[in-house]
Amino acid sequence: MLPELSNPSVCMRDPQRVQEILESMQKAGSNTLQVISDFDMTLTRFAYNGKRCPTCHNILDNSKLISNDCKEKLKNLLDTYYPIEIDSTRSVDEKLPLMVEWWTRAHDLLVEQRIKKDLLATAVRESEAMLRDGYQLFFDHLYEHSIPLLIFSAGIGDILEEVIRQAGVFHPNVKVFSNYMDFDESGVLKAFKGELIHIYNKREGALLNTGHFQELRTRPNVLLLGDSLGDLTMADGVQDIENILKIGFLNDKVEERKQSYMDSYDIVLLKDETLEVSNAIMLYLT
């Protein structure tokens, strides 16, 4: 057993099963491995020194690119819908239309702000976005071992890319599925491209991108990282999966949600702001 799996933040429903999956994946070799990860609150920190860290949306919401009046409206949306997102007493069916409503209303407000493409990098630079401790090793090692990393995010693709670019880890093995901004010819945001990705339709998002998974068909072993139960479907486009190991970051409402996370993720990390466990697993598999 990897020593990191004894960290106090680690919970496992079935440690024996985790061990078996790890052994089987290790035996298959790193050339059969692909990594699929959520972004917000999975690759980025949830909190730092007791203060919440921003999601892709929050990076924009809190930036100079948004008027004070609009900031207030976005904040009201966050205060209304985030508690619903993490409410363990409501079913996915109940939450889904409300999540669509949140994303849609927020995107409409962002579009009204006539955001300029060339100011996004500054907004990210001035933000408090933080990748989790250990991110450098995570990204660099996957790149050095030619292991594809799919970042599958219901956040904003343009912002997410800028965060990893500024951190120096947007390597060529990284592919992103996310909500991308559409700019007019003068570089002003006019809409979001394609089908909306929210936290509960990653399965549909995956199935729209069969080409990507087809290219990776020689890699039937998947390491999946997420922080929401919606992230569990991110690998649904992978054909003929051999093994999948699911690591879930449980950041908020830990006691209420622990059981449901334990039931669906193989490894649950309780309020763990680091990539230490994921890195140990990645190093073991490569």
Catalytic residues: 38, 40
Rank residues 17 and 75 by Cβ distance to ligand C5P and give the closer one: 75
> HSE of 166 in the Cβ direction (CA atoms, 13 Å)?
18
Paired tokens of 166: 């500024």
**Please, which of residues 226-255 interact with Mg ion by CB under 5 A?**
227
Paired tokens of 115: 């955001």
In the list 10, 37, 40, 222, the residue contacting Mg ion (rule: CB under 5 A) is: 40
**Please, which of residues 53-112 interact with ligand C5P by CB under 6 A?**
55, 57-58, 78, 82, 85, 102-103, 106
Instruction: Verify binding: residue 157, ligand C5P, rule CB under 6 A.
Output: no
Nearest to 276 by CA among 254, 257, 249, 252: 249
Q: Is the dihedral of CA 226, 251, 23, 16 positive or negative?
A: negative
Nearest to 111 by CA among 182, 18, 197: 182
Binding region for Mg ion (CB under 5 A) out of 38-46, 97-105, 123-131, 261-269: 38-46
261's contact among Mg ion, ligand C5P, none, with CB below 5 to 8 A by partner kind, is none
Rank residues 42 and 233 by Cβ distance to Mg ion and give the closer one: 42
Instruction: Verify binding: residue 41, ligand C5P, rule CB under 6 A.
Output: yes
* DSSP labels, 34-74: EEEE--TTTTB-SEETTEEPP-HHHHHHTSTTS-HHHHHHH
Residues with Cβ within 8 Å of residue 122, at least 6 apart in sequence: none
CA dist., res. 226 & res. 244, Å (int): 13
Number of residues counted as binding ligand C5P (CB under 6 A): 18
In the list 38, 158, 161, 162, the residue contacting Mg ion (rule: CB under 5 A) is: 38
User: Which positions touch ligand C5P (CB under 6 A)?
Assistant: 38-41, 55, 57-58, 78, 82, 85, 102-103, 106, 153-155, 199, 228
User: Which positions touch Mg ion (CB under 5 A)?
Assistant: 38, 40-42, 227
